[in-house]
Structure 1
Amino acid sequence: MIFRSKAPLRISFAGGGTDVPPYPQERGGAVLSATIDKYAYASLIPGGDGHIEVQSLDYDIVAKYHTDERLPYDGELDLVKAVMRNLGTPSGFRLFMHTDAPPGSGLGTSSTVVVNLIGLFQRWLRKPLVPYEIAQLAYRIERIELGIKGGMQDQYAATFGGFNFIEFLGETVVVNPLRIPRELINELEYRLLLCYTGKTRLSANILDRQISSYQQKKRDVVAALDATKELAFELKRALLTGKLDDFGDLLHQGWEMKKRFDSAITNAQIDTMYAEARKMGALGGKVLGAGGGGYLLLFCPFDRKHLIAERLEQLDGQVVEFSFEQSGVQSWQIGAHVQ
């Protein structure tokens, strides 16, 4: 048999930063996000000889191991090794992985890769994991076991899929799926513009400084995080009531708050692209993820979107078409003859 899986990347509309410990444990966080039709993919072909071969298209790596080895965390395919350690490898296998967006792009790529691998191994090994357990394991692997800096939202978004309002209440995470009418989703897809700025970012450095500023209780950073959390609730209300112009304006307010977390969240290129988009009619937007590069999301008037897209591409941006994805991580299996 061949086992396959895919998990969707996500767009975070509001609340990002309030899911980064220790803020959610001390003050409670909230994030509004939705998954899109960009994915992390994986295929696994079991083998009986104890040999493991992992091919990552994203990093252009082919690595070979053996099931008897205690694989060290050494910076090479550590996400794969950690999933293998936690879920087991009863036999050898060949694993092929790739994603639709580069690491560091702000779409939650690394967390989605972990969720996807857990979904794949769950299918192969017939592990009875429910969605919350998948997301919790992915968080533990990435943030605690491997020590990769980041928040708590991405693992839950990739696992559950769709539009979600996710609350972080101490050590408890509550995923609230939002029932968004199809016509409203269509309108969002019609008016949202996603543009790759051409640069990935080193989110760990930004997050280190953000965490440090919060732990020092710097007033401006704490106030910005608190305001960002409140905006997540306001954006949810605007979305559920269909007030999309308010939704666009709140995105702008959220971006202004986010820039107060750390000076590296934006740069001259991002500021120029955002200012040009606003000048041409965009109601609001934000850089996705921790900031510093990656994808820029903009909410546009329907009759100005194409003009804004043209201007961003003149500024070396790359506009990317997308739709929303309502499903979370999925896995399936096929006969080896269906290749």
Structure 2
Amino acid sequence: MIITRSPLRISLGGGGTDLPSYYRKHSGFLIAAAIDKYVYITLHQTFQKGLIIKYSKLEHANSVEEIQHPIIREALKLVGVGGDGEPHIELTSMADIPAGTGLGSSGSFTTALLKALHSYKKNIVPPQALAEQACHIEIEKLGEPIGKQDQYIAAYGGLTCFQFLPNGHVEATPLKVDNETLYNLEDNLLLFFTGYSRSASHILKDQDQKSRVSDKDMIDNLHFVKELGYQSQEALEIGDLHKFGDLMNVHWEHKKKRSGGMSNPDIDRWYTLAMENGAVGGKVIGAGGGGFLMFYADDKTKLRHALTQAGLREVRFRFDFEGTRTVIS
């Protein structure tokens, strides 16, 4: 039995500049943090003929090519598991948080899956290579209009700054925060589930298409958001968390301009309520349109009370510094 896990993530600045349609021309930058909510993959050999795949559906396949789940099919092919003459296997996935909620579950799923398959083959794969393989599957093989943030922060863990270079290379650098800032940030960032799930690919498709044709408004928006990412890095590294909260608010106002599907009347109402009840700044995590609202709070007790009274469910978290790892092998 092999069990792997990969952390979900929150974005702390610069989100959206990790799409190839942007960074291939302008370079991208963002800060992301892994959290202690995970996607798990289990893999073991069975006595049944064929491949058993369990996720939200149950698949029985006689060959890798028959597998309907595109990421699982491509990962098995990439690592070379499940071919003729190999022992029969069963793959199962589970998650602490549902998919489609903005915490990067697809990237976490892909990195956890690849880690399990490499563990099965006795391959040692460092975080950079694991993230590159996950991006290759999702972006290049399957053509998803998504960025690289999710795969990289899942693989590395921690609070990490990423530079996305035009040649496709990604540079990962730990955010240089002292322990007091880290603990205060962890204590005063609050996550609330909106009750909406959505497809990140659908939301990001419009941004990707506009970036590809160098739409001026979109490119200017992403330039500005990238600059906010650098400012957020500076604020966090000097311990100015109030400024970081202010920058989150500015980021959200610009993020909403990218797509009409970024927000909705409920999200706008909850956001206003939060800003009137202890929040310094916040945003919808991920592509937008639903999922989780995240706020940095001056008065977390007041904010927590206001939003839970409004019907939102809080999910408490800590940061994860292990990244994608094998739990049992």
Quickly name the TM-score band, shorter chain normalised: over 0.9
Q: Give the structure 2 partner of residue 316 of structure 1.
A: 311
Instruction: Indicate the residue corresponding to 2:108 in structure 1.
Output: 112
TM-aligned CA deviation for residue 180 of structure 1: 2.7
AA aligned to 2:241 is: L
Are the aligned partners of 1:254 and 1:286 in contact in 2 as well (CA < 8 Å)?
A: yes
How is 1:68-79 mapped onto 2 (pairs within 5 angstroms)?
69-72=63-66, 76-79=68-71
The TM-score normalised by the length of structure 1 is 0.92
- Offset of residue 213 of structure 1: 2.2
How far off is 1:270 after superposition? Answer: 0.7
1:299 and 2:296 equivalent? yes
The percentage of aligned residue pairs carrying the same residue is: 32
Q: Structure 1, unaligned stretches of length 5 or more?
A: 335-339
- Aligned-residue offset at 1:217: 2.9
Q: Does structure 1 conserve the Cα–Cα contact (< 8 Å) formed by 2:278 and 2:302?
A: no
- 1:49-106 C-alpha deviation (Å, 9 max, x unpaired): 65221221xx2x221123xx24246xx4222111111112232112221111111111
| CA distance in structure 1 between the aligned counterparts of 2:154 and 2:250, rounded to whole angstroms | 26
Amino acid at match of 1:220: D
1:48 Cα shift?
A: 5.9
**Equivalent-residue separation in structure 1 for 2:327 and 2:293 (angstroms):** 33
Q: Which residue of 1 aligns with 2:98?
A: 102
Q: Give 1:26-37 correspondences, 5 Å limit.
A: 26-37=25-36
Asked whether 1:207 is paired with 2:204, we answer: yes
CA contact (8 A) 1:123 1:332 kept: no
| Superposition deviation, residue 16 in structure 1 | 1.2
SS at match of 2:40: strand
Q: Could you tell me which amino acid in structure 1 is paired with residue 151 of structure 2? A: Q
Q: State how 1:188-337 maps to structure 2 within 5 Å.
A: 188-301=185-298, 304-333=299-328
Question: Helix, strand or coil: the match of 1:328?
Answer: coil
Aligned counterparts of 1:280 and 1:70: Cα–Cα separation in 2: 53
Q: Which residue of 2 aligns with 1:88?
A: 80
Q: Deviations over 1:94-149 (max 9, x none)?
A: 22211111111110001110000111111111123222111010001111112222
Give me the whole-angstrom Cα distance separating, in 2, the residues matched to 1:332 and 1:275.
Answer: 41
Contiguous gaps of at least 5 residues in structure 2 = none
Report the secondary structure of 1:143's partner residue: helix
Which residue identity does 1:86 align to in structure 2? Answer: L
Match of 1:127 among 123, 129, 134: 123
Aligned partner letter, 1:156: Y
Counterpart-to-counterpart distance in 2, 1:282 and 1:128: 44
**Structure 1 counterpart of 2:145, one-letter code:** K
Instruction: Decide which moves more: 307-316 or 120-129.
Output: 307-316
Alignment equivalent of 2:61, drawn from 62, 65, 81: 65
Q: Which residue of 2 aligns with 1:337?
A: none
The 1-side partners of 2:234 and 2:206 are apart by 31
The residue type paired with residue 208 of structure 2 is I
Map Cα deviations across residues 183-219 of structure 1 (whole Å, 9 max, x no partner). Answer: 2221112111100100012322221111222233332
**Matched residue, 2:146:** 150
Shift of 1:315: 2.6
Q: Are the equivalent residues in 1 in contact too, given 2:52–2:90 (CA < 8 A)?
A: yes
Q: Is the 8 Å Cα contact of residues 164 and 171 (structure 2) preserved in structure 1?
A: yes
2:121 & 2:49 partners in 1: Cα distance? Answer: 16
